[in-house]
Amino acid sequence: MKKTEIERIPIILPEDIGRLCEEARIYDSSCSPEAKVYFIDREGGYYLKVAPSGALGREATMTEYFCKKGLGTQVLSYISGESDILLTRAVAGEDCTATRYLDEPGRLCDLVAERLRMLHELDASDCPVKDRISEYIALAEANFHADSYNKEHFPDSFGYSSGEEAFAALESGKSLLKNEVLIHGDYCLPNMMLDDWRFTGFIDVDHAGLGDRHIDLFWGEWSMGFNLMMHGEREWKKYRGRFLDAYGRDKIEKEKLRAVAAAEVFG
């Protein structure tokens, strides 16, 4: 997770958050244009996320829920006004793209897969977000009809040679996807934290809720291969299969993975 030191957070902050920043080193840790993320280096660390009004409500809700389940960090403040401000404590450790973890790909692969299986087996009957699948499919369909998706991946984007082919597969397979388990929604190596190989929590849970396990399986498998490839691991492809083996093939349905891959073309 990159951090670039800056002099100050360039917005007017609530008084209590402003005091928290006093005499602390501040870093810009943003990684997307949708939100600005700042790391406040004080008392173990805090993260402050700033986004357009209403954009962080789901993340605040699901971060609190994951904290309740012992899976994430504490929400200290969520304010929605002209913009949204979300303050959380930093999760201990480093994310799974740290060199020390990528240097042991087999151990990492098994840990990440087994932790995902544990997530999916939790009782989430009290989850505040009950239906991620409807939103997930609606977004993919809307992006296809608006011609709003990345076409640079073609040919062979997630196994599909065109947007039309992917959309046909989505329409054919979308009824297979069910709201059955608690999902992270963006299950990739940068979103899981470890402290000397001890799991400390998930981060960036704004896409979490009740959904279909195959969404997490798709991204977990993809991220395992991609991050190991970027790390220079020559045999990175074999760890994608190992990830699914470690999770448990008894719960994996190929047609559901194919439907998720089709949806992600337009995600």
Residues forming the active site:
186
Instruction: Name the phi and psi angles at 38, rounded to 5.
Output: -125, 140
Residues 118 and 114: their CA atoms lie apart, in Å, by 6
Instruction: Name the burial class of residue 77, with classes exposed (0-12), middle (13-18) and buried (19+) by CB atoms within 10 angstroms of its CB.
Output: middle
> Is there a contact between 171 and 177 (Cβ–Cβ < 8 Å)?
no
Angle at 264 between CA 259 and CA 267, to 5 degrees: 140
**How far apart are alpha carbons 23 and 66 in whole angstroms?**
31
DSSP 237: H
**Whole-angstrom distance, CA of residue 119 vs CA of residue 143:** 29
From its phi and psi, is residue 162 left (phi > 0), alpha (psi between -120 and 50) or beta? beta
Which token pair is 199? 């799991």
Radius of gyration of the chain (CA): 19
Strand order in the sheet with 25-28: 4-6, 25-28, 36-41, 46-52, 83-89, 75-80
